[in-house]
């Protein structure tokens, strides 16, 4: 057999994404280039690794076995690289962080300087919905998670990064009682805050969307009003696409927190990152979020 480490990484990404297109995007490759590598990898085996039915990819049982072994090989290869860096006195390793969707406006600003200081540290940043973030914590699949509302019934430690503020917004300065509210999906922290705020009011017909970005665009288009985190609205407010509607009882305030399982044994990279945040988080918040604070 004559497969490469890169082909193993590509195959694992296809298995994870269950899509060649999404795998190519995640690997920063063109779809044709990734397909060629996958075809060359498949040619190493006399049994199919996956099947395509319609437009959906299904991993065969044999493919799942190969993916499990490939995962171990890739992990060991990463450990060799990290150990080589550590022997030279350079901080290395990987940081795995899961971030709720709105956290994409926050987390990168608390990472960039650390990664500039430590070029041998690899970052895996997964931006997803709250339920998957919580599940990754429960399964101990990540070093840290960024949340604005602490998950229930989990024994966690945390460090506060930035206040989270939710305001009523619309595409006009005045509130029109005939227009509906636009909600996030159930389970999101934004939806929880909105439900709490509106529970004593008579709500008009509602729309429900699955991301803050989708809600924001719906509000800009004039479909209704919503209560959303201020952190992701800077440019829209500056451009006059959105307006904050002064409302009694708002803003709702929570805290962006980096959380991890209590008692977790951190890698050297994760320990270094916590030390970095303890020293630099206030300065970074002031540098990047002065408009917001």
What pLDDT does 82 receive? 58
Contact 165, 148 (CB under 8 A): no
Q: Is 281 exposed, middle or buried (0-12, 13-18, 19+ CB in 10 A)?
A: middle
Task: Report residues of the chain scoring pLDDT below 70.
Answer: 1, 79, 81-89, 200-205
pLDDT confidence of residue 246? 93
The model's pLDDT over 30-64, given as tens digits with 9 standing for 90+, comes to 999 999 999 999 999 999 999 988 778 999 999 99
> Residue 229's beta-bridge partner residues?
166
Separation of CA 40 from chain center: 32
pLDDT in tens, 110-151: 999 999 999 889 999 999 989 999 999 999 999 999 999 999
The structure tokens listed for 220 are 């800009």
- State the pLDDT at residue 53: 85
Residue keyed to tokens 């009682």? 177
Q: Which residue has the tokens 């509607």?
A: 245
Q: What's the rounded Cα separation, in Å, for the pair 132 and 186?
A: 13
Please tell me whether residue 132 adopts helix, strand or coil conformation.
helix
Task: Quote the pLDDT of residue 191.
Answer: 87
Residue with tokens 């009882």: 249
**Domains in the chain with CATH codes:** 5-87 (1.10.10.10), 93-162+255-289 (3.40.190.10), 164-254 (3.40.190.10)
How far apart CA 34 and CA 153 sit, in angstroms, is 42
Give pLDDT, residue 88.
53
Q: Which residues is 124 bridged to in the sheet? A: 96
How far apart CA 122 and CA 140 sit, in angstroms, is 18
Question: What is the C-alpha to C-alpha distance for residues 293 and 178, in angstroms, rounded to an integer?
Answer: 33
Residue 115, C-beta contacts closer than 8 angstroms, at least 6 positions apart: 121, 123
Q: Is the peptide bond before 251 cis (omega within 30 degrees of 0)?
A: yes
């Amino acid at each position: 057999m004559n497969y490469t480490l890169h082909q193993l990484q590509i195959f694992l990404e296809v298995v994870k994404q269950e899509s060649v297109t999404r795998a190519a995007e995640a690997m920063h490759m063109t779809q044709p280039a990734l397909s060629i590598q996958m075809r060359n990898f498949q040619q190493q085996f006399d049994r199919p690794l996956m099947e395509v039915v319609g437009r959906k990819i299904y991993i065969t049982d044999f493919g799942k076995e190969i993916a499990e072994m490939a995962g171990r090989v890739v992990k060991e290869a990463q450990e060799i690289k990290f150990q080589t860096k550590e022997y030279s006195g350079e901080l290395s390793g990987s940081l795995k962080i899961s971030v709720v969707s709105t956290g994409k406006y926050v987390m990168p600003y608390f990472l960039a300087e650390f990664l500039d200081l430590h070029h041998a540290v690899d970052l895996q940043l997964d931006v997803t919905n709250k339920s998957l973030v919580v599940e990754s914590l429960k399964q101990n699949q990540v070093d840290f998670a960024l949340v604005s509302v602490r998950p229930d019934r989990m024994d966690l430690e945390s460090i506060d990064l930035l206040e989270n503020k939710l305001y009523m917004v619309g595409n006009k300065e005045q509130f029109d009682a005939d227009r509906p509210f636009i909600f996030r999906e159930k389970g999101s922290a934004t939806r929880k805050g909105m439900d709490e705020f509106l529970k004593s009011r008579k709500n008009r017909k509602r729309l429900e969307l699955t991301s803050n970005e989708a809600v924001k665009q719906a509000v800009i288009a004039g479909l209704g009003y919503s209560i959303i985190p201020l952190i992701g609205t800077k440019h829209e407010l500056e451009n006059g696409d959105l307006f904050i509607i002064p409302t009694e009882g708002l803003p709702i305030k929570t805290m962006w927190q980096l959380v991890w399982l209590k008692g977790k044994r951190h890698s050297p990279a994760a320990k270094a990152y916590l030390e970095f945040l303890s020293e630099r988080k206030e300065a970074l918040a002031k540098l990047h979020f002065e408009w917001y604070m």
